[in-house]
Amino acid sequence: MNDPQEENKLSKILVAIDGSTSSMKAAEFAITMAEKVRNEESGKKGGELIALTALDVSKPRSFLSSFIAAPTYGLKELEEERNQAKQWMDKLRQKAEDKKIPFRPEIVEGVISAGTAIIEYAKSHSISIIVVGTKGRSGVSKVLVGSVASKIVTHSSCPVIVVK
CA 123, distance to chain mean position in Å, is 13
Phi, psi of 92, rounded to the nearest 5 degrees: -70, -40
pLDDT tens digits, one per residue of 21-65: 999 999 999 999 999 988 886 655 668 999 999 998 876 655 444
pLDDT for 86: 96
CA–CA separation, 117 and 146 (whole Å): 15
* Helix/strand/coil percentages in the chain, nearest 5: 45, 20, 35
Note the pLDDT of residue 25. Answer: 95
pLDDT of residue 141: 42
**109 vs 54: CA distance, rounded Å:** 6
Whether residue 73 has pLDDT greater than 70: no
Q: How far apart are CA 1 and CA 157, in angstroms?
A: 23
Tell me the pTM: 0.82
User: For residue 67, what are the CA distances in angstroms to 79, 97, 142?
Assistant: 20, 45, 20
Q: Which of 80, 87, 146, 156 is nearest to 117 (CA)?
A: 156
The confidence score (pLDDT) of residue 66 equals 47
Architecture of the domain defined by 9-163: 3-Layer(aba) Sandwich (3.40)
Q: What distances in angstroms separate CA 44 from CA 100, 120, 124, 135, 156, one per listed residue? A: 12, 27, 23, 33, 27
pLDDT greater than 60 at residue 78 = yes
Domain segments of the chain as ranges? 9-163
